[in-house]
Amino acid sequence: MARRFGGRFSPGGTTPQDPTARAAQDALAETRRVDAAGAKANLLFVPPALAAVTGLFGGPEVLVLSLGAAAVLTLSAWLLREGLRAEAAYEARPVARRPALPRKMLAATLTGGGTLLAALSGGTDLFGSLLYALAASGLHLAAFGLDPLRDKRVEGVDTFQQDRVARMVEEAEGYLSAIRDQVRSLGDRPLELRVAGFEALARRMIRSLEEDPRDLSAARRYLGVYLMGARDATVRFAELYRRTRDPRARADYEALLGDLESNYAEGTTRLLEGGREAMDLEITVLRDRLQRDGVTIER
């Protein structure tokens, strides 16, 4: 029997109005964006491969120099890729510390060193090889730029407090990434979307803290201890569900996510309103819920 097709973008179709569902979709889409490193950074893995191959057709000195050039250029390409990702994360946050290791500038230096070895392996004299190395480093810096050299801060808040916020945000992002990776490994799209909804609420709290770092003491347990507990619960659930596909375990985990979503939504609202006493009560409720699910919370 014929059946009319209808959907979100079909004539007469409806658009979901649930803000939580939309936030979950946005969070899931954000995790699947194109890698910040980009194709041009990945192309820099080609020269070391060519250097290694060409070294096979020369003598011992040529082989050693070519393999050395390949190793240095590979390290340079890897550092550049990580540097671009760190820069993208830095730009996405209103409060952020500059990368501790200037990966892009180190990559430019290593590109020059690898070019020097490659030129020497091709028979170029030392002076000419140095010129090639300087040109390669300069072009690298022109193409990819420098690393962020200063911290991003909010006016009116002391440096010590903002550094603490930046460290906490990095820690929270690491927990969220671990939760996302564990659930993604299960290949369960609806569950991924559910976790993305919780992630959107946690990021909302992160953003509110970045905009006003003075609320650090009120958000510390949510973005530190309890996210760590959620990560540990997710790891145990993923290990069990990967083996058994137990629907009861899935239902229990979704119930935990529901409790987390409720508490994080209310906690963020109270954080924005400045109600720290009520927030402490919600923290107690969340601690009890996690402990009932077998997650030990250290105070």
Mean per-residue pLDDT for 115-134? 93
- pLDDT tens per residue, range 183-196: 999 888 889 888 98
Pair 282, 294: CB distance under 8 Å = no
Secondary structure string (H, E, C) spanning 160-196: HHHHHHHHHHHHHHHHHHHHHHHHHCCCCHHHHHHHH
Pair 25, 196: CB distance under 8 Å = yes
User: Of 184, 183, 227, 187, nearest to 203 (Cα)?
Assistant: 227
Residue type, 249: A
- Helices vs. strands in the chain: H and E counts, helices first: 12, 0
- pLDDT tens per residue, range 240-280: 888 888 889 889 998 888 888 887 877 777 666 654 555 56
**What pLDDT score was predicted for residue 297?**
56
Q: Share the mean pLDDT of the chain.
A: 79
Pair 200, 27: CB distance under 8 Å = yes
**What pLDDT score was predicted for residue 48?**
93
With 90 as the cut, is the pLDDT of residue 226 above it? no
Above pLDDT 90, what percent of the chain? 27
Of 165 and 43, the one with more pLDDT? 43
User: DSSP secondary-structure letter at 35?
Assistant: P
Question: Token pair 């906490």 is at which residue?
Answer: 168
Mean per-residue pLDDT for 39-66? 88
- β-partners of residue 163 are none
- CA distances to 84, 127, 141, 280 from 70, rounded to whole Å, are 21, 21, 20, 56
3-state class (DSSP) for residue 96: strand
Mean per-residue pLDDT for 234-241? 90
With 60 as the cut, is the pLDDT of residue 131 above it? yes
**What pLDDT score was predicted for residue 117?**
94
**What pLDDT score was predicted for residue 281?**
59
Q: Which long-range contacts (CB under 8 A, 24 or more apart) does 259-263 make?
A: 259/286, 259/289, 260/198, 260/201, 260/226, 260/230, 260/286, 261/20, 261/197, 261/198, 261/201, 263/289
Look at the chain and count its residues. Answer: 299
Neighbours of 184 (CB within 10 A): 17
With 70 as the cut, is the pLDDT of residue 14 above it? no
Lowest-confidence segment of 6-10, 109-113, 114-118, 122-126 by average pLDDT:
6-10
91 band by pLDDT with thresholds 50, 70 and 90: confident
Secondary structure string (H, E, C) spanning 116-163: HHHHHHCCCCHHHHHHHHHHHHHHHHHHHCCCCCCCECCCCCCHHHHH
Burial group, residue 131, by CB count within 10 angstroms (0-12, 13-18, 19+): middle
The domain ranges of the chain are: 37-144, 159-292
- Give the C-alpha separation, 25 to 236, whole Å: 25
**What pLDDT score was predicted for residue 204?**
84
